[in-house]
Structure 1
Amino acid sequence: MRTKTKAVGRAVAALTATALAIATPAPAAQAAPAADAPASQYTPTAPKRVLDTREGVGAPAKPLGAGATITLDLSAQVPATATSVVLNVTGIAGAAGTYVTAYPTGGTRPVVSNLNLDAGAVRPNAVTVKLGTNRSVDLYNFGGSTHLVADLAGYYQTGPGALYNPVTPYRLADTREAGGPLGPGGVLTVNMREQLPDTATAVVVNVTGIGGSVGTYVTAYPGGAARPTASTLNLAPGQVAPNLAVVQIGTDGTVRFYNNTGTVNLVVDLAGYYDPTFGAQFHAGDPYRLVDTRETNTPLGPKRYFPVDLSGTLPDATALVFNLTGTAPTAGTYLTAWPFSADLPIASNVNLAPRETAANLAVVSLDEAVKLGVYNQFGYVHVLVDVAGWFGPVGAPAAG
């Protein structure tokens, strides 16, 4: 079963891809390596800070230099049966433009990126990464020096846990349309029990901050719980930026979004949810680059899309976990990834200013033909797709 919600048949306003967009041939893709980690189920946790190089948490109290790597030991945070983790990784005040790569300790560093930073910027990105030696992951910094912060949101393990149910993205909340911007210390509460089965334990949401009056951060956390020392989204004044969040549903059936300072609008799009009673298991793999339009110098044009066909490499997959990066856009734009045969939803995965490079983790349902699409709204932009793993039915074989 791919999805199951209380909102079956819900009328979601959507744009029709065939009417407003033009198909672009799919960029050449690498063959997928086998997803060699065992099939796993998810255990959500309240966000917990496991790394802060400013404070000496999880690593020495100093920035990570150019070409340097931190090994983050998570053996005390997750059980011996854990196969991979979900982190929110934030880069802070880098001395130069750079990127950060997360990968299993003991493995070869892959040609992928998880976080892209301009000099001096503060930017987060969710990361799903397979655990390596001693249940650890490595974080590599390409250029300059930067501080890194990581918050643990949950983990996958071969033991008991929840299964994933992807949905075609739809909007849960938009403060521009209802409620107005959040003020300093303001909280947006979203009742998940109105949307999902009572047995759902966590949600995957894309959270976008829009037009903050000052620099601020946003924290997503379970309703009914104390607000943790963690951040989901970091925003400069006036910035439009998204971040994927995997958030445990609170004891009161809600998820909350806290704004620290100033005023800011928030948009929350649902990508899927976890439920211990039904759904798909996760297969982690070593990260690899599936798509890079720079290799063929074929940027994605305005109102154009391309399909990504996974039927040959992941025939049993129901959803793909990947880092979606846009780089060198000629205009401000956004990228949307969606199940290819479905209508193009009113949702975004990556928001880009002109000439900016930005990434966001995406967990996207695949259609019956095992395809997803990537759409660009304005200008021309290069697109990268870096795969972290996939979801498939219970008992599905690993990728070949």
Structure 2
Amino acid sequence: MRITTAAVRRALTAATASVALAALVVPGTAAAGPRSSADPTPPTAQGRSADADPAEAPEMADVAARAAAGDGATFTPINPVRVLDTREAIGVPGHVPVGPGGTVTLNLSNAVPANAISVVLNVTGVTGNSGTYITAYPAGYDRPDSSNVNLVPNSARSNAVTVLLGSTGAVNLFNFLGDTHIVADLAGYYQYGSGSLYNAKTPLRILDTRNNGGPIGQRGTRALRVRDFVPATADAVVLNLTGVTPTIGTYVTAYPGGAAKPEVSSLNLVPGQVAPNLVTVPIGKDGNVNLYNHNGSVHLVADLAGYYDTQSGAEFYPSDPFRLVDTRTDPDLGLVGPDEYVYFPLGDVFGGFTAMMFNLTGTEPSAGTYLTAYPLNRGIPFASNLNLAPGETAANLTITAFDSDTTIAVSNRYGYSHMLWDFAGAFGPIVSASS
């Protein structure tokens, strides 16, 4: 049985859900994440368990039922391509920003096969004088009460989005306030049938130019050797890519080694900013991923979250967005202090699953900090997922491996911060491509 019914088309809201326009302030300086082996959160960090009952979430029960029926999707990575830019009349008829309360419909029926059910996009918002948020969701369906990209005035910020396609092969992008230009780059698509399978890893830092190689200069490209960290049958990697303190406003592009540089962006940065984004990139024939910086100089940090493999791995089961953790409203959690973490056991629902996709949002941090998502019983890794400046609200899509008890944790490094986890889907048990 394949899910083409309302059960999946219900999923079919944006796969990354965050807070709406809450506490959006012009950020100061975020913590850039661990720089040396002495810096990770210590193993004596204090943890608190979220007390919600995942068994009561119909969204999770639906994912588990589809996995039992073998109704997962596989992934096809592509060299990133720009499919929407309201500044340049790409994907739309004119050079006009999306107004307050406006929606642009992006038809992807000519960009992906007819059997594609969802797409992976890098969505960037470029604001004027108003802060706003952008929500991605399937065309023809109700807009969810969630956001994918949170923006302060006069800024540009990106976030990865996995969103199911509407019945016409289109997605909607909604802008809340002000006149906002929206850019979207297509990184791949999920479909039933043949494709690549996901393999989650404990986050592994494979690049930090602060410690090795120095910053990447203007129009410079750094080749990152990723083949050494994945099997020969892997065809794409998932990286949490962080830009650290660019000297001027710039963008960074991640693309396959040996390929022509596409006219897309993976990170958009203002001077002095620290900001991450989850990127999915095909592995070049030379075994590399290239990282290009457009303006000034910038440090880059890359943490390997997993890879797609043509022979074995896990299928993906998308879901309606579901608020799994909200420390603002859970009386047993509250603000998460320095070197504290929140963990959530999910074995009752997802026993045997390998990873969870969720949008991680940090809000109201008292100091510059970073949050790290990880499999609880493997210990806090030398990595980061979300970098926050004091008072900032920001989100980043996260794919995190489950530990042996099917538990995930998120730690906070400095000061006090609230965190929100919005469930977007899960990756099932390991299977072989032949099965």
TM-score (norm 2): 0.84
Which residues in structure 2 correspond to 1:136-215 (within 5 Å)?
136-215=170-249
- Aligned position for 2:88: 55
2:44 to 8, 11, 20: 20
Kindly provide the CA deviation profile for residues 28-62 of structure 1, in whole angstroms up to 9, marking residues without a partner as x: 46625123694111100001111111122122432
1:100/1:113 contact within 8 Å kept: yes
Matched, 1:116 2:143: no
1:327/1:382 contact within 8 Å kept: yes
1:14/1:345 contact within 8 Å kept: no
Matched, 1:66 2:90: no
1:323/1:386 contact within 8 Å kept: yes
- Aligned position for 1:251: 285
2:133 to 77, 99, 108: 99
Q: Secondary structure at the match of 1:279?
A: strand
The alpha carbon displacement at 1:24 in A equals 2.1
2:244/2:273 contact within 8 Å kept: yes
The alpha carbon displacement at 1:18 in A equals 7.0
- Aligned position for 2:3: none
Which residues in structure 2 correspond to 1:326-365 (within 5 Å)?
326-365=362-401
2:336 to 270, 288, 300: 300
TM-score (norm 1): 0.91
Evaluate the alpha carbon distance shift between residue 112 and residue 32 of structure 1 in structure 2; reply closer, same or farther with a 3 A threshold. farther
1:129/1:388 contact within 8 Å kept: no
Kindly provide the CA deviation profile for residues 212-268 of structure 1, in whole angstroms up to 9, marking residues without a partner as x: 111111000000000000000011111111111000001111100001111111111
Evaluate the alpha carbon distance shift between residue 332 and residue 16 of structure 1 in structure 2; reply closer, same or farther with a 3 A threshold. closer
Report the Cα distance in structure 1 between the residues aligned to 2:328 and 2:179, rounded to whole angstroms.
26
Q: Secondary structure at the match of 1:63?
A: coil
Report the Cα distance in structure 1 between the residues aligned to 2:353 and 2:163, rounded to whole angstroms.
18
- Aligned position for 1:3: none
Report the Cα distance in structure 2 between the residues aligned to 1:329 and 1:321, rounded to whole angstroms.
23
Report the Cα distance in structure 2 between the residues aligned to 1:179 and 1:293, rounded to whole angstroms.
39
Letter of the 1:224 counterpart? G
- Aligned position for 1:368: 404
Report the Cα distance in structure 2 between the residues aligned to 1:132 and 1:14, rounded to whole angstroms.
48
- Aligned position for 1:276: 310
Matched, 1:90 2:114: no
Letter of the 1:57 counterpart? I
Q: Secondary structure at the match of 1:19?
A: coil
1:15/1:343 contact within 8 Å kept: no
1:320 to 334, 356, 360: 356
Question: How many matched pairs?
Answer: 385
Report the Cα distance in structure 2 between the residues aligned to 1:252 and 1:197, rounded to whole angstroms.
14
Report the Cα distance in structure 2 between the residues aligned to 1:14 and 1:150, rounded to whole angstroms.
38
- Aligned position for 2:4: none
Q: Secondary structure at the match of 2:227?
A: helix
Letter of the 2:142 counterpart? T
Report the Cα distance in structure 2 between the residues aligned to 1:27 and 1:187, rounded to whole angstroms.
46
Q: Secondary structure at the match of 2:378?
A: coil
1:388 to 424, 427, 430: 424
Report the Cα distance in structure 1 between the residues aligned to 2:53 and 2:395, rounded to whole angstroms.
19
Q: Secondary structure at the match of 2:348?
A: coil
Q: Secondary structure at the match of 1:194?
A: helix
1:326/1:382 contact within 8 Å kept: yes
RMSD: 2.0
- Tell me which stretches of 4 or more aligned residues in structure 1 moved more than 4 Å: 12-18
Letter of the 2:418 counterpart? H
Evaluate the alpha carbon distance shift between residue 382 and residue 29 of structure 1 in structure 2; reply closer, same or farther with a 3 A threshold. farther
Matched, 1:216 2:219: no
Evaluate the alpha carbon distance shift between residue 197 and residue 14 of structure 1 in structure 2; reply closer, same or farther with a 3 A threshold. farther
Give identity over the alignment, percent: 54
Matched, 1:44 2:80: no
Q: Secondary structure at the match of 2:377?
A: coil
Q: Secondary structure at the match of 1:313?
A: helix
Q: Secondary structure at the match of 2:248?
A: coil
Evaluate the alpha carbon distance shift between residue 78 and residue 183 of structure 1 in structure 2; reply closer, same or farther with a 3 A threshold. same
Evaluate the alpha carbon distance shift between residue 227 and residue 379 of structure 1 in structure 2; reply closer, same or farther with a 3 A threshold. same
Unaligned 5+ segments in structure 2 are 1-35
Q: Secondary structure at the match of 2:306?
A: strand
1:280/1:391 contact within 8 Å kept: yes
The alpha carbon displacement at 1:13 in A equals 5.3
